[in-house]
């Protein structure tokens, strides 16, 4: 038997139709606005032009085309174009690329539904990679954000996700890793380390939670609120070549310092600089360490220094700070939570008042010559300088200063 001929389809033809010959059909199935606003869409069309044609049908009257066209599909684009005409950014007679449907096999409602239902949303990974490509083409974060109507932080997040190991992104593409897990992996830029962590947890679903992934990726790092990091400062650490791991998807309190060895070296160098400066005061010895064991001063004699009196100006400053502190406490005493700026200001005042209370004492030069100083860090990362300790072997023998000799 002869094979029947395959019916060939004929696609709807594209035409350029003046905008003022178009009108929005009431048969568009989209009733609820969702996604990019008309304002944002109008801005995008004004910048790049109309990249998707309108789907239109000829208006019919007494079986004849009137020369006007209904827009049953592409209503949001049509409304955005109307906005541009209203603003006089586009002439109302501008030709519009349209797909003209004259078929009687489908209705306008059918056309509208098909355009919306058959549309497949972009996979998140495709968007991450597209943002990365735009960045590599020279667009900065702010420009990408402006073009696609998202915040700069959103762009940073997507660029961070696109920088995860290709092996893990491939697993995400095939639904073998969840987006929340990719977000956790994005803390580190070390692809080998990311893959190593995944291999460690891939066979145990209980270990695949995002919080555990973050813990494994940061187990050899130092928190940014660690006293060593606070003392050195993130800027100095990064200037020395250190990397800071940041979590762009949840609060990380400043992140994690990746190079613990570098940080320890910077701490030691900074403490040594302080110790050398203090040694210049004439002390016999100065010991500097991150911390000292409990009771390290046991068996040493502590010198009793003389507190330096405050100047009139310093007294006035201290009183003004105390009054401001009392006023703020009274004003916000009943508040469930202090405003950030008030909380910060109270902290500043407390530090300033503590500085007045911890003013350096003065010592007899003869005592300084036999005594020493301990330099270390407090728990909050501030410097601790504890002056005036005499070791037993450094005590002056009776009569060495002429005070206890017999006549």
Q: What is the CA radius of gyration of the chain?
A: 37
Q: Is the per-residue pLDDT at 402 higher than 50?
A: no
Give the Å distances, CA to CA, from 254 to 93, 247, 262.
Answer: 56, 9, 18
Which DSSP state fits 248? S
Tokens of 33: 């606005």
Least confident piece of the model among 30-34, 239-243, 276-280, 365-369: 30-34
198: closest CA among 220, 160, 170?
170
Q: What is the mean pLDDT of residues 84-106?
A: 88
Tokens of 119: 């549309």
Please give the Cα distance from 393 to 328 (Å, whole number). Answer: 52
Q: Is the per-residue pLDDT at 193 higher than 70?
A: yes
- Tell me, what's the pLDDT at 119? 57
Whole-number average pLDDT of the chain: 87
Q: Is the per-residue pLDDT at 37 higher than 50?
A: yes
Write the pLDDT tens digit of every residue in 127-167.
899 889 989 999 899 988 887 778 899 999 999 999 999 99
- Cα dihedral 115, 117, 119, 124 sign: positive
Let me know the angle formed at the C-alpha of 13 by 106 and 11, rounded to the nearest 5 degrees.
55
Please give the Cα distance from 86 to 80 (Å, whole number). Answer: 10
Residue reference for tokens 């660690």: 226
- Tell me, what's the pLDDT at 179? 94
Give the Å distances, CA to CA, from 49 to 13, 42, 85.
Answer: 20, 9, 14
Least confident piece of the model among 166-175, 269-278, 354-363, 391-400: 354-363
CA atoms within 13 A on the CB side of 363: 21
Q: Is the per-residue pLDDT at 314 higher than 70?
A: yes
Q: Is the per-residue pLDDT at 253 higher than 70?
A: yes
What are the CB-based long-range contacts (under 8 Å, 24+) for 139-147?
A: 147/44, 147/47
Give the model's confidence band at 114: pLDDT under 50 very low, under 70 low, under 90 confident, else very high. Answer: low
- Tell me, what's the pLDDT at 117? 60
Please give the Cα distance from 178 to 30 (Å, whole number). Answer: 31
Write the pLDDT tens digit of every residue in 42-82.
888 888 888 788 889 999 998 899 999 999 888 888 989 99
- Tell me, what's the pLDDT at 375? 97
Q: Is the per-residue pLDDT at 282 higher than 90?
A: yes
Question: Global pTM?
Answer: 0.65
Q: Is the per-residue pLDDT at 172 higher than 90?
A: yes
Q: What are φ and ψ of residue 351, in 5° steps?
A: -65, -40
Least confident piece of the model among 114-123, 188-197, 258-267: 114-123
Please give the Cα distance from 371 to 283 (Å, whole number). Answer: 6
Which DSSP state fits 205? G
Query: Higher confidence at residue 353 or residue 296?
Result: 296
Let me know the angle formed at the C-alpha of 187 by 181 and 191, rounded to the nearest 5 degrees.
85
Write the pLDDT tens digit of every residue in 175-187.
999 999 999 999 9
Q: Is the per-residue pLDDT at 340 higher than 90?
A: no
Q: What is the mean pLDDT of residues 288-298?
A: 94
Q: Is the per-residue pLDDT at 188 higher than 60?
A: yes
Tokens of 254: 């400043």
- Tell me, what's the pLDDT at 407? 44
Q: What is the mean pLDDT of residues 288-317?
A: 89
Element (H, E) at 195: helix 191-201
């Amino acid at each position: 038997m002869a094979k029947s001929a395959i019916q060939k389809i004929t696609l709807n033809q594209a035409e350029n139709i003046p905008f003022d010959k178009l009108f929005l059909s009431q048969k568009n199935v989209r009733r609820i606005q969702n996604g990019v606003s008309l304002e944002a869409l109008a801005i995008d069309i004004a910048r790049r032009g109309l990249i998707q044609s309108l789907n239109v049908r000829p208006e019919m009257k007494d079986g004849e085309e009137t020369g006007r066209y209904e827009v049953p599909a592409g209503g949001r684009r049509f409304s955005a174009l109307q906005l541009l005409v209203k603003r006089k950014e586009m002439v109302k007679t501008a030709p519009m690329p349209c797909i003209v449907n004259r078929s009687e096999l489908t209705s306008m409602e059918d056309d509208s539904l098909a355009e919306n239902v058959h549309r497949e949303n972009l996979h998140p990974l495709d968007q991450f990679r597209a943002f990365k490509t735009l960045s590599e083409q020279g667009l900065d974060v702010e420009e990408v954000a402006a073009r696609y109507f998202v915040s700069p932080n959103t762009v940073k997040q997507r660029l961070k996700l696109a920088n995860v190991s290709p092996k893990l992104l491939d697993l995400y593409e095939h639904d073998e890793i969840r987006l929340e897990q990719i977000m956790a992996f994005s803390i580190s830029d070390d692809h080998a380390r990311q893959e190593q962590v995944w291999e460690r947890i891939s066979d145990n679903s209980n270990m695949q939670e995002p919080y555990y992934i973050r813990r494994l990726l940061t187990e050899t790092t130092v928190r940014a609120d660690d006293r060593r990091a606070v003392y050195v400062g993130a800027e100095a650490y990064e200037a020395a070549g250190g990397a800071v791991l940041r979590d762009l998807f949840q609060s990380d309190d400043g992140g994690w310092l990746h190079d613990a060895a570098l940080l320890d070296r910077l701490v030691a160098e900074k403490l040594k600089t302080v110790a050398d400066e203090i040694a210049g005061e004439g002390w016999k010895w100065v010991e500097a360490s991150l911390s000292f064991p409990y009771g390290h001063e046991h068996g040493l004699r502590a010198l009793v220094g003389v507190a330096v009196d405050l100047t009139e100006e310093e007294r006035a400053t201290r009183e003004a700070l105390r009054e401001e502190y009392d006023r703020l406490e009274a004003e916000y005493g009943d508040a469930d939570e202090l405003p950030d700026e008030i909380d910060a200001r109270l902290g500043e005042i407390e530090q300033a008042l503590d500085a007045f209370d911890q003013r350096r004492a003065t010592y007899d030069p003869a005592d300084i010559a036999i005594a020493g100083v301990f330099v270390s860090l407090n728990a909050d990362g501030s410097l601790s300088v504890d002056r005036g300790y005499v070791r037993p072997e450094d005590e002056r023998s009776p009569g060495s200063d002429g005070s206890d000799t017999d006549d």
